[in-house]
Structure formats: C-alpha cells, structure tokens
Chains A and B, each alone.
Chain A
Amino acid sequence: MRLEYFQLIDRVLDLNLADRTIRSEATVPTQSTIFEGHFPGRPLMPGVLLIETMAQTCGWLLLATMGFTRMAFLASVREAKFRTFVTPGQVLTISARLDHEGSGFAVASAKIKADNKLICDAGLTFRVVDFPNAEMHQQMCATAVQIGLSTEALTDG
C-alpha cells in the first residue's frame, strides 16, 4: 500500500472472469503520516481507506471484465461494516464479486480479511464510463501489470 498515492492494492492474487471474482492483497505500511493523526498513540487504518481498498479491488475486477476498455468510478457505498481494527503492518486479503453489470453502472460486493478473520465488508456501486483520456488509460494498464493483473491473467479467466 502506498497510502499517500492512493495505491492501495499491492498485487492481485487471482482473478476469475467466469465467476466474476477477484482476490487481492495489500500490506498496511508500518509508517505513514496518516497514523500521526489517526490516532496519536494508537495508529489505525482509517475506515475510509478500507472502503477505498475494497473499491480499488472491485475496480480492477471491473476493468478486467471490460477488457480495460472503460473506467469505473465509485458512486455509492452500501452497508459498510468495520468489524475490527486494522493496524500498521497487517496483511490484508481483499475479495470482491461483481454482482451486476448494468448499462453504465455496476454493482459489486467486497470484503477484507486479515489472518482469515473478517475485517470489513460493503456493497459498492460504480459508474462505468469511457476513459476520460488516453493518459489515464495508459496509467491504469501500467498499474495493472505492476500488481499482477497481466494479459495472461485476463485470458486465463
């Protein structure tokens, strides 16, 4: 995780386009300015960043499903539950499932576990639109490769 750059997914563990599921992994950094304020003397991963972590995992699943032809933007979050604290250094496993692919939107659900214990879960809705520009498209494709969402992974399904 590079919190300051909002790059919250370290790598994709597996992707199944047939089942429309994905699993990713992310390690909470041991040091971050965020922990200086959240909270002094008791560093905790903010819940909003856990939502973003789930959203990014869903986003990668959506992009892969669409063959990186369109972009997904988070539109709403439903029934997010934070069941336990997340602290620096913890390794998180994020699972997501695409529940519905509508016209210009998609609905997904996601959860995060650490040490096989459920940390949080939520339902997320995304707007699906054309990439705003070529630069963003290129950057998303490059990041996908960095986190292991390779062309081979896409075709393997």
Chain B
Amino acid sequence: MSSTFDTIANIIAETCDIPRETIKPESHAIDDLGIDSLDFLDIAFAIDKAFGIKLPLEQWTQEVNDGKATTEQYFVLKNLSARIDELVAAKGA
C-alpha cells in the first residue's frame, strides 16, 4: 500500500503533467511545483476521492489570509500528507 505522500505525488504528476521524480516531500505545491489555484481544484478533487475526505481548502485559505497559518503548513507536500492523515484518522474515529 502506497504512502499518503506517494498517492498525492502521483495525483499531482498526473493532474499537472509534472515529472513524478521532481515531486519531493519538501516540495511546496505552489512555490516549487508552480501549481495554480485552478489546478489545485483538480488535485483536491482527486485527493478527496482517493482518501474519502473533504480537504478544508476554504478554511486553510482563510487561515493563511488572516495570518494564522503559513502556506508551508498546508502546501508543502509532507505537511499536506500529515493533514490528510489527520483527516482520514478523524473520519475513522
């Protein structure tokens, strides 16, 4: 069974036509991989489906805009993976 990061990386590679080998756990989806908000909708859709969750994108965006969080907390892929694992765990709780 692949890790959460591997699943996300594969989704990004397929959705955005980014070479899989360039996608690292330390990659920032926006700053390093150049994913824009429209492409991220497709990624979020694929992540929601793959994990059976609903990424709280609006909440995250609001927190970043309010200065309560940084984009790194949500969009560096290892951190995104951790958030997803939390959401999956919360769903099963």
| A31 close to B (CB within 8 Å) | no
Stretch among B5-13, B27-35, B37-45, B65-73 lining the A interface: B37-45
| CB-nearest residue of chain A to B60 | A103
| CB-nearest residue of chain A to B55 | A103
| A69 close to B (CB within 8 Å) | no
B54 touching A103, Cβ below 8 Å: yes
A105 touching B45, Cβ below 8 Å: yes
* Interchain CA distance A100-B59 in the complex, whole Å: 18
Interface size, chain B (Cβ < 8 Å): 14
Interface size, chain A (Cβ < 8 Å): 11
Residues of B within 8 A of A76 (CB): 38, 41-42
Query: Could you say which of B38, B49, B58 contacts A103, with CB atoms under 8 Å apart?
Result: B58
Pairs across A and B, CB under 8 Å, 27 listed: A75-B41, A76-B38, A76-B41, A76-B42, A100-B45, A101-B54, A102-B41, A102-B44, A102-B45, A102-B48, A102-B55, A103-B44, A103-B55, A103-B56, A103-B57, A103-B58, A103-B59, A104-B58, A104-B61, A105-B41, A105-B44, A105-B45, A105-B57, A107-B45, A125-B41, A125-B45, A127-B41
Closest CB-CB distance, B83 to chain A, in whole Å?
12
* Interchain CA distance A125-B45 in the complex, whole Å: 10
| CB-nearest residue of chain A to B39 | A76
Residues of A within 8 A of B57 (CB): 102-105
Provide the A43-77 mask, 1 if CB < 8 A to any CB of B, else 0.
Answer: 00000000000000000000000000000000110
Provide the A71-87 mask, 1 if CB < 8 A to any CB of B, else 0.
Answer: 00001100000000000
* Interchain CA distance A89-B54 in the complex, whole Å: 43
Provide the A127-150 mask, 1 if CB < 8 A to any CB of B, else 0.
Answer: 100000000000000000000000
